[in-house]
Amino acid sequence: MDFIQLVISGLANGCVYGLIALGFVLIYKATEAVNFAQGDFMMIGAFVCLGFTNSDFLGLNFWLSIVLAMGVMAILGYLFDWGILRHMSGQSQTSIVILTIAVGFILRFLAGSIWSHEPVSLETPFAGEYVRAGGLVLGVDEILIIVVTILLTFGLYLFFSRTKLGVAMQAASQNQLAAYYMGIPVKRIQSLVWALSGVVAAVAGILFASKGAIDPASGLLGIKAFAAAAIGGFGSLPGALVGGLIIGLIEPLSARYAPDGFAGIARIAPYAILIIVLIFRPGGLFSQTQKKKV
């Protein structure tokens, strides 16, 4: 029972990591840019929702705030690409890495100044509610996280395989020039991918905040999501989720079953696994790299 309990809470954590990784992989696939600020986008998404719904701030309806937060994050993502990144196209990847790291710092600062530097919890209608099933005690928040993640993944799958916009995004990500020739507005598509990734970040942030408290530093959670994405194989959407789940499961299990005196193992485990995966299966579990052509 203990084990199943751990697994379910691990899965819930893993879903959040997976969702952050998903937003990160979306951008990487579409624009070849690595967004090191994805964790901070997640954090901002949570804070925006919190700003709408918490009684200290606007005190709006919870479900309305979720929609608003997703909208705000979509606009933010679009504007970031439109205003900054579009002017950097053609520059080296390193400069985009630098840029997004710096943006992460600024987002953390802004969140701290606008909302709070201390951890705050999101006021959800289902906070603290439990479901008893057999000998298990499951938090409603944990179940909700898993369900929402499944729904979102399914929705994204449909979006990419069935809609015209989704197919255009795939095309633009595979070969920019060829997509241009086919009449796809690649620049706008890229901005839309950023907007989509902002929405995913907002969902991840809201789920994360509903489970516990959020503070500006939780943007650093994004680093675990990078580990998840790299374990999954960087350019692969299902890989990102699987990677997130692996990391989410490893953390509580290694903390529970580590030998005495090695409790710190749980903090190292996600990154140790990342390094091990990179050493033995460098392309990640769902490897998609191939030899580069001239």
Residue 264: left if φ>0, alpha if ψ -120 to 50, beta else—which one? alpha
- 42 neighbors 20 (Cβ within 8 angstroms): yes
Near other proteins in 240-269, by CB under 8 A = 262, 264-265, 267-268
- Helix/strand/coil for 65: helix
- 234 neighbors 284 (Cβ within 8 angstroms): yes
Q: Which two tokens stand for residue 77?
A: 């993502």
Q: Interacting stretch for other proteins, rule CB under 8 A, among 9-17, 65-73, 192-200, 220-228?
A: 220-228
Among 216, 239, 243, 244, binds other proteins (CB under 8 A): 216
Q: Does 65 bind other proteins (CB under 8 A)?
A: no
Q: Does 164 bind other proteins (CB under 8 A)?
A: no
Q: Does 90 bind other proteins (CB under 8 A)?
A: yes
Q: Does 61 bind other proteins (CB under 8 A)?
A: no
Q: Does 112 bind other proteins (CB under 8 A)?
A: yes
> What is the radius of gyration, based on Cα positions, of the chain?
19
Rounded Cα distance, 109 and 175, in Å: 36
Rounded Cα distance, 186 and 273, in Å: 36
Cα 41 to chain centroid, rounded: 8
Among 22, 69, 99, 250, binds other proteins (CB under 8 A): 99
CB of 95 to other proteins, least distance (A): 5
Where do we find the tokens 């709006």? 60
Residue number, 145 or 189, with CB nearest to other proteins:
189
Give Cα separations from 67 to 39, 73, 228 (angstroms). Answer: 20, 10, 27
Q: Which two tokens stand for residue 50?
A: 């919190």
Among 25, 108, 199, 241, binds other proteins (CB under 8 A): 108
Map residues 120-149 to x or -, x wherever contact with other proteins holds by CB under 8 A: ------------------------------
Q: Does 106 bind other proteins (CB under 8 A)?
A: yes
Q: Does 53 bind other proteins (CB under 8 A)?
A: no
Residue number, 52 or 115, with CB nearest to other proteins:
115
Give Cα separations from 195 to 62, 253, 285 (angstroms). Answer: 22, 35, 27
**Interface with other proteins (CB under 8 A):** 29, 32, 34, 84, 87-95, 97-99, 101-106, 108-110, 112-113, 117, 173-177, 216, 223, 226-227, 230, 234-235, 262, 264-265, 267-268, 271-272, 274-275, 278-280, 282-283, 288-290, 292-294
